[in-house]
């Protein structure tokens, strides 16, 4: 099993009446709610937490990309990963990822990811998301009906830029480069590539054709993810590929305490903050027309766009969130049991552990992180023994002795 400690980096100071007074946490939330001086401390706390996770033996530490979003303060994940690259020496740097259609020209992604891979000694996991509609279309202005074509072209350019040893001309529809020439090259050729997906057949097939890791990054937990992941595994079988659980990843909110009761007492308010405040997204921003294919839309259209649904500000309770699997919470025994159910049920080898939740303060976050690392992770390590040697989907760093400077800094 591979465990990646993930921090979304939410803004913890949204007002109590946020849902009543503001229509969305994303896209048009005013920056008057942000305070850069508090932000200074916050970024440093969040980076401390990621570094702490490495020291406890998490396989990866993870960052991602969002724009105009108060629960995801990383418009540039590569800046965070660069900072972590110098302060860590063992964990994979899981950048999940760069929304490649947003970079102009997208060879920028090839270059920056290569830099991260080289600085870290080959520890980069490279994520290539399309990006949510909120990020890609509304905040970054990409035309919804052209986003996927642009993504596919950017992907082709990046892979080729990593592969070729000579400059080449790239005549794309969206990017034209007479001299495509990626300096530096990544250490890994290529780094493991993770693709966040939301259930479309096209994304399943894209991952299988390229042996990329399919990642379902939902906040709604493992019980609701079953149908989608079953669809993926069915597609894996149909494609005649092996069923390695390392072909898949899943994000799960997890909080650990000494007992179930203590978990509720200590974490309830932070879970409430995340699910009932941070996830308040205006439905008009959720799915720009053309962002999803019509085929996917027909299968997944929701009724969140009625007047009644938009006006509904009712909250999800702790019991509901825990019972329905949105959150795995409790003592180490409880968490181990539920994690096993999730890992076998979804057949996943990569878990993105969302252990920092909402407005959780540092000391609570470190405690939960430590309990998971010491009392949960070791009891899940040996799952999927038949795939114990499957290293196709994980990092291949250069050996430690060959790495320069890194250990001295991180060990200081």
Residues contributing to the site for another protein (CB under 8 A): 27, 137-138, 141, 143-146, 173, 282-285, 288-290, 292, 294, 297-298, 301, 303, 305-308, 310
**What's the token pair of residue 156?**
């082709």
Q: Which is nearer to another protein, 24 or 78 (CB)?
A: 24
**Smallest distance from another protein to CB 288, Å:** 5
**Smallest distance from another protein to CB 293, Å:** 9
Q: Which is nearer to another protein, 13 or 295 (CB)?
A: 295
CA distance 11 to 365: 15
- State phi, psi for 301 to the nearest 5 degrees: -65, 140
Q: Which is nearer to another protein, 75 or 283 (CB)?
A: 283
Upstream peptide bond of 195 is cis (omega within 30 degrees of 0): no
The 10 Å Cβ neighbour count of residue 147 is 22
CA-nearest of 59, 93, 92, 98 to 75 is 98
CA distance 91 to 77: 16
**Smallest distance from another protein to CB 302, Å:** 8
CA-nearest of 30, 3, 9, 27 to 362 is 9
- Determine whether 21 is exposed, middle or buried from the number of CB atoms within 10 Å of its CB (0-12, 13-18, 19+): exposed
Q: Which is nearer to another protein, 95 or 288 (CB)?
A: 288
Q: Which is nearer to another protein, 37 or 294 (CB)?
A: 294
**Smallest distance from another protein to CB 294, Å:** 6
- Concatenated DSSP letters for 254-323? EEE-SSHHHHHHHHHHHHHHIIIIIT---GGGS--TTSS-HHHHHHH--STTSHHHHH--PPPPHHHHHH
CA distance 255 to 253: 7
**Smallest distance from another protein to CB 104, Å:** 15
**Smallest distance from another protein to CB 100, Å:** 19
Q: Which is nearer to another protein, 307 or 382 (CB)?
A: 307
């Amino acid at each position: 099993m591979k465990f990646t400690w993930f921090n979304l980096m939410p803004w913890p100071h949204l007002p109590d009446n946020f849902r009543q007074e503001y229509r969305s946490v994303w896209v048009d939330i005013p920056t008057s709610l942000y305070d850069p001086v508090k932000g200074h401390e916050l970024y440093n706390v969040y980076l401390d937490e990621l570094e702490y996770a490495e020291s406890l033996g998490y396989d990866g530490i993870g960052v991602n990309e969002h724009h105009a979003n108060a629960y995801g303060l990383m418009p540039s994940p590569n800046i965070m990963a660069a900072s972590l690259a110098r302060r860590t020496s063992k964990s994979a740097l899981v950048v999940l990822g760069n929304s490649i259609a947003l970079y102009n020209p997208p060879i920028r992604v090839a270059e920056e990811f290569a830099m991260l891979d080289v600085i870290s000694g080959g520890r980069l996991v490279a994520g290539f998301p399309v990006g949510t509609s909120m990020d890609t279309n509304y905040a970054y202005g990409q035309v919804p009906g052209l986003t996927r074509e642009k993504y596919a072209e950017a992907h082709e350019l990046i892979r080729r830029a990593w592969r070729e040893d000579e400059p080449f001309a790239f005549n794309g529809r969206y990017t034209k480069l007479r001299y495509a020439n990626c300096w530096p090259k990544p250490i890994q050729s290529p780094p493991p590539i993770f693709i966040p997906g939301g259930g479309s057949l096209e994304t399943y097939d894209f991952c299988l054709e390229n042996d990329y890791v399919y990642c379902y990054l939902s906040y709604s937990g493992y019980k609701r993810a079953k149908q989608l992941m079953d669809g993926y595994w069915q597609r894996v079988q149909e494609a005649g590929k092996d069923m390695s659980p390392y072909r898949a990843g899943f994000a799960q909110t997890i909080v650990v305490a000494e007992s179930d009761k203590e978990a509720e007492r200590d974490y309830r308010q932070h879970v409430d903050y995340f699910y009932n405040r941070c996830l308040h997204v205006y439905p008009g921003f959720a799915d720009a027309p053309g962002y999803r294919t019509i085929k996917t839309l027909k299968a997944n259209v929701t009724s969140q766009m009625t007047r009644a649904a938009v006006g509904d500000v009712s909250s999800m309770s702790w019991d509901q969130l825990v019972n329905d699997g949105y959150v795995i919470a409790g003592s180490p025994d409880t968490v181990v049991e539920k994690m096993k159910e999730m890992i076998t049920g979804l057949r996943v080898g990569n878990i993105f552990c969302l252990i920092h939740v909402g407005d959780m303060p540092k000391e609570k976050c470190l405690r939960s992180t430590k309990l998971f690392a010491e009392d949960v992770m070791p009891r899940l390590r040996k799952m999927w023994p038949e795939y114990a040697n499957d290293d196709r989907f994980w990092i291949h760093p250069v050996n430690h002795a060959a790495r320069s400077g890194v250990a001295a800094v991180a060990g200081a």
